[in-house]
Every structure is written in C-alpha cells, then in structure tokens.
Structure 1
Amino acid sequence: MAPALYTASVPVFLHYLEQARGLVAQCRTQPDLLEAKLAPDMFSGAQQFASAAGFALRGTFPMIGERTPDFPEAAMDYDGVLARIDFAHERLVTLDPATFDGAEGRTVRHIAGFAELDQKAGDYLHLFAMPNFLFHLSMGFAVLRQGGLEIGKSDFDGLHDYPQGFSF
C-alpha cells in the first residue's frame, strides 16, 4: 500500500496536470487566449497554468526531502506552458511511492509570498501546496472560459458529464 502523502499528492497532481494539458491544448488555434488576465494585477492564463505545474512539483519534492526540480527555460506562451506541464508530469511519474515513507514526520520549510513557514508535510500538502495548485489551475480555467473557449466542468476535472447544450 502506498504511503498516504503519496496517494494524496502524486496521483491527484498527475490527474489534474493531464486536465491542464487538455485545457491548454484547446487553445491551439487561439493561443492569444493564454495572454489574457481576469484582472490587471493577476497572472495571465499562461502564467496561471505554469504556476499550477510548479505547485505540482513544489507540493511533492519537499515532502520527500528533495529539492524541487527547476523548470527548463521556456517562453510563457502556448508551447512553453505545455512544456512546463509535461516537465512536471515527467518528474512526478518518476517518484517511487516508497520515497514518501516517513514523510508525515518531516517539516517543510518554504516561502509563501513574503512569509517564511515551517509546516508538517501533511499540513504543507493539504493547507498550502494542493490549494495553491488548484487555485492556479482554476484561475487558468477561468481565463480561458472568460475568453470564450467553450469549456466546462468536465474539461476541468475529467469526471463530470453534461448533455450537449446544457447550461446552468
């Protein structure tokens, strides 16, 4: 049986990175949608998805006592965002569940904005890393939806199903 923090992180991040990839891929013919922002002081859609990919790595590697991998240089455009998502996915699939043995007892020291925090690994994952991952993924989704891309909840989570033409 896989350690609890592995099960609560890696499979979830992998699932939603696949969803993020699918959302970004739908911008293939309209890559300028990724440049949009919900508000002037917010990240662009591209940066939101890139930040989500970053939190997938930032949310796992510190829990196993490893340094978070650095993303390769890539433009903050359609191809660059897909490269970041793919990089995060490739790194996560290499993680052995056994490396999470004892993670519950680790303390993760990290920066949240300008705050320096020390959190037990479970709190770090559940109260910081996962919420931030989902925040940036949701904001990226919202940018694309606001920009007119016809996407819905099923595109976000890969689980919901609604009939064609359904709306709330």
Structure 2
Amino acid sequence: MTTSLYDLTVPVFGRALDALSGVLIKGEAFAVEKGFEPAVLLGSRLAPDMAPLTAQVQRVTDSIKGVLTRVGGIENVVFEDNEISFTELQARIAKAKALLATIPRDALDGKEEAEVSFQTPNRTLTFTGRSYVLTFALPNIYFHVTMAYAILRHNGVPVGKLDYLGAA
C-alpha cells in the first residue's frame, strides 16, 4: 500500500501547527504569570547565531507553503515576516492552517515523481515530490517546530514531550 503525498503532508502539517500553537500559548502564559514582557521570549534564541523564536515560527509556515507551491502547484501566498507578538504569530499559524484547509487531495496525490527544484544560497536542489517531502520538507518543518519548543523550554516555559507531540 502506498501512502499518498496528501496524507504525508496536509494532516501532518496541521498537527505540527497545532503543537506549535500550543507551545506558544504556554509561552505567552508563562511570561504573563512571571511578570515579564512576552517579547523577551519572542526574541530568544538558543545560540547567538541562531534565529529567534519568531523566525522559527515563520520558517515552519514558510516551509509548509513551500511544499504546497513546489509540489502542489498552488500559487504562493506571501506571509510578511513582521510578527512582533504572540497574537501575531498565532494569526500566522491560523493563516497557514486555513491555507491547508483549501488544498484538495489531487493537488498533491500523483505528484510523487514530479520534479521539484529550487535554488538555495549555495546551489540548486532537485528532488522528486516524494523525496522532497520525506527528506527535506518534513525534517525542515520539524526542525523549526523543535527549535521553537526548545527556545521556550530553555527559558523555563513548562512544556513537555506531549506538548511537542500535540497531545497535551
């Protein structure tokens, strides 16, 4: 039995976005409870040369849109990278979820062998639809979800494995 690209992406991305939203809710609540500006968490990073929490959320949604445009052929919807609050990050996640809800199965199913090619700063990457989803997009999305979780956890936000898994 073959698993469809739709099944490997749209519901999986939705769950990742739900988990991301959940840890952000806990992050904002933690800042309020402890009496510090939520912006402290939004600008936090695990290392000086690492992107902050806001950028991690932006990369998750951008990577999801990348699959939908590169494999699904839908027109790219621009999300400005200008969020400065938890509310704005939640709105960005909601926009990504709304976009997922518009994707029909046939936009992705049957595209397993379609060529996906794009330019990075260093070189052009070329995949099949299946290999792009499985070896690039999914790991990249979960990397950024993990970094958002780790930034919050590192700053004392009481999140755990079940939050990351979207099962809390």
Q: TM-score, normalised by structure 1?
A: 0.86
Q: 1:49 aligns with which of 57, 64, 67?
A: 57
In the TM superposition, what are the counterparts of 1:48-127 in structure 2 within 5 Å?
48-72=56-80, 74-127=82-135
Structure 2: state its 5+ residue gaps: 32-37
Distance 1:103 1:135 in 2: 24
Task: Give 1:147's aligned residue.
Answer: 155
Task: Give 1:19's aligned residue.
Answer: 19
Structure 1: state its 5+ residue gaps: 162-168
Q: Report the identity percentage.
A: 29
Cα offset, 1:111, TM superposition? 2.9
Query: Residues 67, 37 of structure 1: CA spacing in aligned structure 2 closer, same or farther, 3 A cutoff?
Result: same
Cα contact 2:69–2:75 (8 A) shared by 1: yes
- Tell me how many residue pairs correspond in the alignment: 159
Which is further off, 7-16 or 103-112? 103-112
State the secondary structure of the residue aligned to 1:102: coil
Cα offset, 1:75, TM superposition? 2.4
Task: Give 2:28's aligned residue.
Answer: 28
- 1:88-119 per-residue CA deviation (whole Å, 9 max, x = no partner) reads 11101110112223211211112344321111
Cα offset, 1:51, TM superposition? 0.9
Cα contact 2:59–2:144 (8 A) shared by 1: yes
Cα contact 1:59–1:129 (8 A) shared by 2: yes
Cα contact 2:58–2:81 (8 A) shared by 1: no
Query: Residues 158, 101 of structure 1: CA spacing in aligned structure 2 closer, same or farther, 3 A cutoff?
Result: closer
1:158 partnered with 2:163: no
Cα offset, 1:68, TM superposition? 2.8
State the secondary structure of the residue aligned to 1:109: strand
RMSD of aligned Cα (Å): 1.9
Cα contact 2:71–2:111 (8 A) shared by 1: yes
- 1:47-83 per-residue CA deviation (whole Å, 9 max, x = no partner) reads 1122112112212331122333211464243222212
Cα offset, 1:36, TM superposition? 0.6
